[in-house]
Every structure is written in C-alpha cells, then in structure tokens.
Chain A
Amino acid sequence: MAVTVHKQVRPPFWRNTTVLKWVAQLVFLFGFIAIALILIRQVQDNLSDRGITFDFDWLDGRLGFPIREGIDTDPATGGRNILVGIVNTLRVTIFGIIAATILGTIVGVARLSSNWIVQRLSTLYVESIRNIPLLLQILFWGVVSQSFFILDPADPDTLEPGRYLIAPTRKGVGVSWIQPWGGFYQWLVWVIIGAVAGFFLRRRLVRQREEQGAETYPDLKAFGVLVLFGVIGWFAHPVWAWLGDVFDAIGGFITDIPTIVFQLVFAAGALAIGFWWLKRFLDERRTPSGLAKLTDDDWFRMIFAGLVSILAALFLVAVAGFSSEVRDVSGSFFSDWLAPKFDSATRVIDVPISEIEADVAAGMTLEDIAIAEGLDRDSAHKLVDGLTPGFVADIDTGIENGTLSAAQVAEKLETIRSRADNPLRWSRAEVEQSGANFLALSPNSGVVMTPGFFALWIAVTLYTASFIAEVVRGGILAISKGQNEAAGALGLTRTQALRFVVLPQAFRIIFPPLGNQYLNLFKNTSLGIAVAFPDIVQIGQTTYNQNGQSIPVIFVWMAFYLTGSLIISAIVNFYNRRMKLVER
C-alpha cells in the first residue's frame, strides 16, 4: 500500500493566522496611539488658545478657601486642600464600611429568620433601599440632617461659645474625643513594638495549644502584652526622641543622592521586571523533557514584552524629572514630615526665670509668653488650646492682676510642658464665634460630625448594607442544609450552629462580593458633592473653579481613585487567597 507523505508546507505569511493576528493587533495599537496623540495635541492647542498652562504648580501655591471638615487646611495650599479631601473621603469610607458591614450582616441574617415579622421587615428594608438611587437618598438625609442636629428649631444657636461634652449646632454636632498629642508618635513606636511582640506571643501560644491540647488564652495574653507596652510607653515615650535625628539624617541622605542613581535603579527595575516575566514565561513552558517548542505567538509575546521593558528603561534613564521628583518627595517625607514628629524641642519651654519675670511684668498672656519663649505660634496655640479653658483663664487673670509671681508662672508653664508631651489628650468640643451672628465648631476640638458627613455616611451605610445583606443571605443559603442539620444533631442550638458552623463557611463565599461592595462604597462617597461634603471630588471642583486647572485636577482624582481601588482589591484578594479552602 502506497503511503503518501504530506510534506508540511508552511502557509504564505498572508495566510498565517499568527502573523495576521499580530499585524491586526499592532495596527490597532498604533492607530490607538495615533488617535491619542492627536487628542493630546488638540487639548494642548485648545488650552493654549485659552491661555491655560497645564501644570501642577497650584499644588504648592496658596489657594485659600475654608473647609470646615476633617483636618485643618494649614498651610492653605492647593495640595493641602486636596489632602484634606482625601482624608475626608477615607473617613467616610472607613466608617461607612464598618457600619454597613455590621448592619448588612444583621439584616442578611434577619432575612432568614424564622420570625415572620423580622423577616418581612428586613425584606422591606432591602427591597426599598436598594431600588432607590443613592444620590436621592443622600439628598434626603441632607434635608433631614438640617433639622436633625438642632435641639430647638426656633432658636438654633442656643449654646454660648465655650467647651462642651456634646455641642449640637446647626453646623454639626461636636463630641469630645481623644486626640493624638505631642508625644503621640514616640508612643506609637512603643505600641507597634507591643503589637509585634503580642503577635509573636499569640502565634506561639496557639501552637502550644494545638500541641498540648490545653487552653493557653492566646488572644487574652497577646492583648495584655499590647496594653502593657502601651502603659510603659505612656511614661517612657521620650526614649525614642533620637529617632527624629535618624529620620532627619535618612531624609538628608536621600536628598543628597544624585538623580542619576535613581534613574539607573528605576531603569534596572524595569529591565528586571521584563526579565522576570520572560523567565516565568519560559518556565511555564518547560516540561520534564526540556523546553517545549515555542510557537510564533510565543515569540511575538516575548519580543513585545522585552521591547516594552527596554522602552520603559530607556524612558526612565532619559527623563530625569520622574526620578528627581521621587527622590525629593521621599526625602522630604523623612526629613520634613516624619522627623519633626519625634522632635520634642518644639514642645519644651526651658527658659530662665528672669525672662519670664519680664514677660509677666509686661502683662502678657500665657500664649504670648509661650511664643516669646521660643515656641512657634502654632505649637503655642495648640498647647494652650489643649488645656481646660478655666486653667488658662485663671493664669491669665492672675498675671493681669499681679497675683501670680514669675516663679509660679514658670511652674505653670512647666505643667503645660509636661502635659504637652502626653501621647493623647482629651479634646473637648468647642463652640466658637464665627462672624457676627454665627456660631461654629472649632475644627481642632473633639470630633465634629457635620450635617454633610452625617447625610453622606448614613446614606452610604444604609445603601451598601442593603446590598451586603443580600450577599450575606446568599452566602448562608449556599451552605448545604446538611451542615445545619448535622450541627443540630450534635446538639448545637440554632445560634451556635450559625456562629460556629454556617457563618465560618459562608464567609468564604461572602468575602469576594463583599469586597466588591466595599469598593462600590469607596467610589460612592464621591456623591457627597450633592450635600457639599468636602471630599476629594468636591474640593477638586472648587479648586478648578478658582484656578481653571481642570485637567490636572482630573488627573489627581483618577490617580487617587485608581490607587484606592487597587489597594482595596489587593487587600480583598490577599484575604481571599488566605481563606480559600485548601483542596486536598
């Protein structure tokens, strides 16, 4: 029987699907790049026609508009304003996530309750809230909060200026709260050490419990260690003052490195990533009998990846601006931001009594003396501000009436100094006069819940909780009935079965969609603009309304939300991997 041998003929290149696919992709890519370039050109032309230059200088320039929410806008630069917005967004996100998780879990379990009325009520809640636009809900709570915070609608400003435990005004409710104070960062070092020690202790105790079968109370003891370190740190925190110098030195060292070093390191990093990818790619194609035959497609991929990493490296070497910016920012992070936090010099008043005598004779107030004796205005204000008003007023009247001697004033200053070094302080809500007829809450006292925050937080919480409830319900329903029945057969009550058998298993199913809901909540906080909540979007809008730099502001928004979303999904993925059922 004759055997015809078909000689394998490679098709001509215009019929080789691999080549065609790559040609199509490259044509598409270059077309895309061309359109993008044309658009960028167009934007540049249009901008220059209107006399707007595209830059980020406004981040450092002064841009003052009052923001009465969150951290203070000092120095009033564009960048600081954006930072205030970021902090506000994160605050709503974090409090929203906590509240929505708790409420959502409760409602989700309640939807499966055997109690008819509880089940119906939770169903009503879910079906009504999740079918109404969030923006509308935020607006609604915005209206409600206008009247909610005022105890007596006829006379909204019933409070006198001063300090209160809880201060309801029409600008929001101030609640006295604990705030970080002078020695906070030094104390934090102790707390971190305690947390690390507690973590290792707990791990050891857990292992011990598993090996010996006897209860070793790992959580309790680990928490005890943390508290112990916290207490020790409360008194011993100045020990870490030298860290300030270290950070200063590190910052100085980074700033002194020539830019070219950074450029080379980054370029090497880009090349290393490309190399790592190629190595992994080839490893995947390695079989016990050696490297598998590479297809045309594989070759194209490897060439493309290599080109991208080489281009990135060349770009990083050629353009010095990126590297020098990274260097300056990281250097100033250490020397300008971190180092002063450990430096106690700004908080210590150590002056001879003769100088204080002169000040007292001149009839200066306590705050003025503190400033005169070497404190900067800001720290002095915060120092006096952090004390009970009566204490300061007594001293001030004492100086004025001449009943306090210089030695006594020095003693009081010493008290202030020691208190100023505490890691935390009890900050009382303060109502202050703002304008002729208006009262406002001092932004640095206690915690302030403004109507905008309240409206956004409660709306976002209720809305997300209705989705989380569905996620939780789905997760519980996905656990097979047999698990519940087996738990019942073992003698567990319904609550115990839920707590120890169903929920831990349901959590695995619940977690990925739950992470999605957290992501949605994070993005939904941007709707706070409807109730004038100064989050990053609202502040960005005010910024470009003032200086016309709309495109850089859009870049800032996108950078922030991209980073935030990536961080949240990275956390979710991390937990997801850890909790995945280990399959045998």
Chain B
Amino acid sequence: MTGRIELPEVPELELAPEPPPHGPAVWAKNNLFSTWYSTLLTIAGLLIVWLFLKSILGFIFDFDARRWDAVTFNARFLMVQFYPTLDRVWISLGIVLALAALSFAFWRAGGYVAPRRLTRGLMRVGGFILFVIIGIAAIDYIFGIIFGFDFGGFSFQFSAKVSWIAIAVGAVLFAIGWAVERALGDRGKETIISTMALIGAAMAGIVGLLWVIQLPVEDGDPNSAAKVFEPIASSTAGPWTILAATGVLAYLLGLWLRRIIPERIAKGVLTGLWLLSFPIITLGIINDPAFSAEFAPEFQLSTYLVIGVAFLVVGGFAIAAASYPAIGEWSAAIAGVIAIAVILSWTVAMLMIIRFLLILTLLFVLGAKTFGGSPAARVRYLLGWASFLVIFVYFFILAQGGSSVAVPTESPFGGLVLTFVIFIAVMLLSFPVGVLLALGRTSTMPIFRLMSVAYIEIIRAVPLITWLFMAVIFLPFALPTGVTYGGVIRVIMFYAAFSAAYLAENVRGGLQAVSSGQQEGAKAVGMTTVQTAIFITLPQALRAVIPALVGQAIATFKDTSLVTIVGLFDFLHIARDSIPGQTQFIGSLRTTLIVAAVVYWIFTFTMSRASQRLEKKLGVGEH
C-alpha cells in the first residue's frame, strides 16, 4: 500500500439529456420580447443606446470642436507637470514594473485561458463595431424617412473615410476570430494559452503600435487633427519599449529564481522590496536636490552614521536584554529608563534623529516580550530592529539632504504623479492609524474608546473638503514659528487623518466579525492583550474586510481629485484649469474633462474588478 486509498469504481451516472440548443431567435424572445412591456422597454432601451452612441461617436470624431490635440500635446504636462524630469519618472515606473513582474512570477499569478475565449472576444468586438455602425446607419435612415430630420451627432456618411475604416476594422476582427476558431476546432476549448504570455504579447503589440502610429486619418486634412497621436507616440516609443523589455526580462528572471531560491525567503525579500520602493522612489529617485538645496543646512553625514551605529549597539543590547524571559520585572525598568530619556530628549536641544531613534528603541523594548520570546524569535526580532534602524537612518539622511516631497507650497510637483503620490501616501499613513482607532473603538478601556469614537465620528461627519481647507488655512497657524510644511505634505497629513477614520470603521466591522471565543482562547493559552490583537484578532479581522478596504481605496483615489480645490496641481487641476488656460487650447475644457474621466475610470474600474475577484477567491460573505 502506498498510502493512497483505493476508491471503489463508481459507475458513470446517467446525466439528464442536454437541453436543445437555443438559437438567437429563442434567446431574443426570452430576453427581449417576453411580454408586451418588455418589448416596449427593449425599444426604449435601443433608442437610448442609439442616441447615446450617436452623441458619443459624434463627440469623438468631431475633430474641429473636440481638440484631442489639447490632450495629446499636453500628455507630459498631465502626467508629471514640470517637476520630476521624465527620466526619473521612467526609472520609477521601471522599478514598479520590474517588481510587479517578479511578484507575478513568484506568486504564479495568471494561469491559463482557452483560445476560444480570445476568438469569441475578437468576434464580439468586431461584431459590436459592425452592429453599431450598421445599426446607426439603419435607424438614421428609418428616422430620416419618418421624421425627415437628423438628430445630430455621429451619422454614417458614405463620403467619410472613418465610417469605412470602422466597418473594415469590425469585419477584419470578426473574420480573424471566426477563422481561428474554425481552425482550432475542439482544441479551442482547452486551457492552453498562458495569461502572462498574452499580456506580454499585448504589451509588445502596443509598443509596436507606438513605433508605427500615424493616427488617425481624417478626410485628408493635413493640419493638427491629422496627426493627433503622433506627439505621444514619438516621445514615448523608446522608453516604453525599454520598459516592456524590462518587464518581460524581470518575469523570466523571476521564473528562473523561483527554482533556485527557497520560496519563503524570496517572497519575504520581495515584500520588503515593495515596501521600500515607495520611499525610495519618492525620496531617492524623484527627489531632485536641485529643487531643495535650501532645505539642506549644515548637514554632516558622519554624525548621522555615528549616531546610527551607537543606537544599533546600545539599543540592541537593551532590546536583547529585555527579551530574555529570565529578566522578569526588570524589562519594565529598562523600558522606564528609556521612556524617561524620551521625555527628556524633547526638553533638551538635540538633533531630531536622536529623539526619534529613542522613541523607536522604546517601542522595540516594549515589544520585546511579545515578539522575542524564544531564541529563534529573538534573533529575528533583533534583525528586524537592525533593518528598521538602518532604513530609518537612511530616510533621515535622505530627508535631511532635501526632500522633494517637502517642496515649498508652490509645488512644481504635479499631474498624475501627484495624484498617485497623494493616494499611496494616504493609504500607507492611514492604515496603522485606522487600525489603532478601530482597536481603540472596540477596546474595553472607556477613555480610549471614547476618544476613538469622538475622533471617528467628528471626522466622518464633516466633508473632506472642509478638512482640506483646514490643512491649507488653519495648519499654518498651529505650527511653531519657523516651521512650514509644503502644501502637499499638509494635504496628505489631513487627508490621511480623514481616511483613517473611515478605515477604522471598516476594520471595526472585521473585528466584530471575529468571534469572542478566539480572544478567550488566546487568553487561555496565556497571551497578553497586545499579543492577542496582533496574532489572533487582527489577521482574521483584516482578512474579513479586504473587499471593504479595497472599496475605500477606490473612494480615496477618486477623492484625491479634491486637492484641486485647495490649489494643488493634481491630474484634474491640469485637465480642468491649466490646459484650457493655454491660449491655443481655449475651449478644450470638455475634451480634457472627458479624457480625465476616462483615466480615473480605468484605474477605479480595475481596482473594483480586482476586489470582486478577491472577494470571490476569499469566499467572503459565503457561510
């Protein structure tokens, strides 16, 4: 016996006969014309679709009024405004892309799809284009006969090239899909194509398109409209090619590394790299010393290094000592001494880094008993302390060297990059605060609970725009004389505080979903309150609310647009204010707004789809 259990042979069950295949006519009768009012609704719906498509297509193809060139000529402006020179942005993008590709390789993301899905997709898109063009032409014709006038918007014209190109594209797509499906036959139903290979092919296709683009061709007009997409294509073809190649190479590298490096280590390192990437990109790469030279007074690298080493040694000893079980009550004494040092450090003039490192040491000493109980855990804990310290000192040095995030109020920093910087910074900052608030709100300690409730409810009752105004007009009054923060920092601080209150409510939902038996069990095995929260309650609670958290991330992303009202040059500000303000593009507001809407929509829709998939995968809500 080899450990396998032999199952008795189960006779093949007699399945019910498959229902007779439905034709399109049956489908239409069931889904469109089942009753008389369903028929009415169908006709009304078709009319709405018709009007909608006419106006949308009319909008897209009306080159004289729509000024697509306002967007394409300002593409760079929309993305980064002036500040980070483009190479820095490309490098940042490259880092993110490479990390993403590595992660995909390590987590075996993707999977396989059946070719039939692709061919069906092609046929669907081609058929849709044909249906739209021919349908509009047909309904226009009928309406022309009945009412004798045109509703405006897009209409099929035999003279216009666009109409014929559209029909040709639709027909070709449909034909390719149909032909490939026929050629594959039954093999088309097997899952044989790798998703990652598909994504790679799609990227290659897009990059290739950038090299050949001369779009669109409209009635032989040689002016601006004719080569609307060329400025984007010519300036970004090179970088995008390199980026795509980097992504593919990183993916292949990941596949190779996966075989030679133990999975746990690799995943841990990758997670660390992801966490590091944000500060490295903002402080290291996008940071341009030329912009922030005035923020670097007499700054001595060696001082910081000596301080760092001193803390590494002395603090390491203190933490190691505090984590020995034999030390007993004396660990509290160590913590007390450091706490007194922390308090004293703020009353005596000294370098800021010492004060913050003392606080960090105190936190680690307090957590020593919780995390460093066994010898193996102690080594890990000390390693964690060392890496934390190194990163901390590194960021302090970076920040002292002048940080572009703390740029002056009139920030040269803007565009889609600013939108994303605000979004990511707010998400990162609000997460720990929100979790603490949620713990406070569900805590049994009345003052903590009361203060958390007051904070959450007051923040949530007042709209975000009011808090942003506070960040802009009130905060300068509350800061000590001489201390100023840039507008971006101020807005991020208040926005993160705002977001934390909402996050706390979401996390609270998860905390309440964890059964109290879990906590009692943890208490029974002798865990402390902090240990219970960190190892038992929070992991379960956070898992339960992941969809809600993604929902909140979407809301946060959408609401970054509000910073335009307090005068930051984010993506929306440039789209609604800066571009329509350029003399050659006056009156292009509608175009830029619609492009901005599409860009926002792409990001939020992707996030919401990802959250839905995650929800299904986690089985949240299924009992």
Give the interface of A toward B (CB within 8 A): 14, 21-22, 24-26, 28-29, 32, 39, 42-43, 45-47, 49, 113-118, 121, 127-128, 131-137, 139-140, 143, 297, 300-301, 304, 523-524, 526-527, 529-530, 537, 541, 544, 550-551, 554, 557-558, 561-562, 564-566
B66 is an interface residue with CB less than 8 A from chain A: no
Counting chain B CB atoms within 10 Å of each CB, the highest count among A24, A128, A131, A562 belongs to A131
- In the bound assembly, the distance between CA atoms of A358 and B464 in angstroms comes to 63
CA distance A558 to B554 in the complex (A): 26
**Which B residues have a C-beta under 8 Å from some C-beta of A?**
31-32, 34, 38, 41-42, 45-46, 48-49, 332, 444-448, 451, 458, 460-466, 469-470, 473-474, 476-481, 554, 558-559, 561-562, 564-565, 572, 576, 589-590, 593-594, 596-597, 600-601, 604-605, 608
Q: Please state if A554 and B461 are interface contacts (CB–CB under 8 Å).
A: no
- Kindly identify which residue among B444, B562, B605 contacts A135, using a CB–CB cutoff of 8 Å: B562
The answer to whether A42 and B445 touch (CB under 8 A), given A117-B49, A558-B462, A562-B461, is: no
Which A residues lie within 8 Å of B479 (CB)?
42
A492 to B459, CA, bound (A): 48
**How many angstroms between the C-alpha atoms of A28 and B445 in the bound complex?**
12
- Contact among B32, B458, B572, B590 with A116 in the assembled complex (CB-CB below 8 Å): B32
Structural contact, B447 and A523, CB atoms closer than 8 A: no
Contact status B461-A117, CB under 8 Å: no
- A115 x B38 contact (CB < 8 A): yes
Q: Which 6 A-B pairs have the closest CB atoms?
A: A565-B461, A523-B463, A117-B45, A25-B447, A116-B31, A131-B604
Question: B465: which A residues are within 8 A, CB to CB?
Answer: 526-527, 529, 537
Q: Which chain B residues lie closer than 8 Å to A114 at the CB level? A: 31, 34, 38
With a CB–CB cut-off of 8 A, which chain B residues contact A39? 478
Residues of chain B within 8 A of A25, CB atoms compared: 445-448
A551 touching B445, Cβ below 8 Å: no
Contacting pair B477 A562 (CB below 8 A): no
Contact in complex: B463, A28 (CB < 8 Å): no
- CA A527 – CA B464 in complex, angstroms? 9
Which of B34, B462, B590 has its CB near the most chain A CB atoms (within 10 A)?
B462
Give the chain B neighbours of A544 by CB distance below 8 A: 473
Is A121's CB under 8 angstroms from B469's CB? no
By the criterion CB–CB under 8 Å, are A132 and B462 in contact?
Answer: no
Name B607's closest neighbour in chain A (CB-CB).
A131
Q: Other than the known A114-B31, A136-B572, A526-B466, what 6 A-B pairs have Cβ atoms closer than 8 Å? A: A22-B445, A115-B34, A128-B601, A131-B601, A133-B572, A140-B590
The interface residues of chain A, by DSSP majority, are classed as helix
- Evaluate whether A131 and B600 lie within 8 angstroms (CB atoms) in the complex, with A117-B32, A526-B465, A557-B462 already known: yes
Q: Kindly state the separation between the CA atoms of A265 and B291 in the bound complex, as whole angstroms.
A: 62
* Other-chain contact of B461, A529, A530, A561 (Cβ < 8 Å): A561
- CA A306 to CA B442, docked complex, whole Å: 23
- Of the candidates A113, A139, A526, A566, the one having the most CB atoms from chain B within 10 angstroms of its own CB is A139
Chain A contacts for B466, CB-based, 8 A = 526, 537, 554, 557-558, 561
Contact check, A135 vs B564: say whether CB atoms are below 8 A apart: yes
| Measured CA separation A131–B49 after assembly (Å) | 20
Interface contact B461-A566, CB-CB below 8 Å? yes
CB closest chain-A residue, reference B589: A143
Contact of A132 among B42, B332, B478, B601 (CB under 8 A): B601
Q: Which residue of A lies closest to B572 (CB)?
A: A136
How far, in angstroms, from A554 to B49 measured CA to CA in the complex?
Answer: 46
Residues of A within 8 A of B448 (CB): 25, 28
Indicate the member of A132, A301, A529, A561 with the most B CB atoms within 10 Å: A132
> B41: which A residues are within 8 A, CB to CB?
113, 115, 117-118
Look across to chain A and name the residue whose beta carbon is closest to the beta carbon of B577. Answer: A139
Contact yes or no, A42 B590, CB < 8 A: no
A139 to B565 Cα, complex, angstroms: 12
Q: Which residues of B contact A24 (CB under 8 A)?
A: 445
Q: Please name 24 pairs of A and B residues whose Cβ atoms are closer than 8 Å in the assembled complex, sorted by A.
A: A25-B447, A29-B451, A32-B451, A116-B31, A131-B600, A132-B600, A132-B604, A133-B561, A134-B558, A135-B572, A136-B576, A136-B593, A136-B596, A137-B597, A140-B593, A304-B446, A523-B463, A524-B463, A527-B463, A527-B565, A554-B470, A558-B466, A561-B463, A562-B462
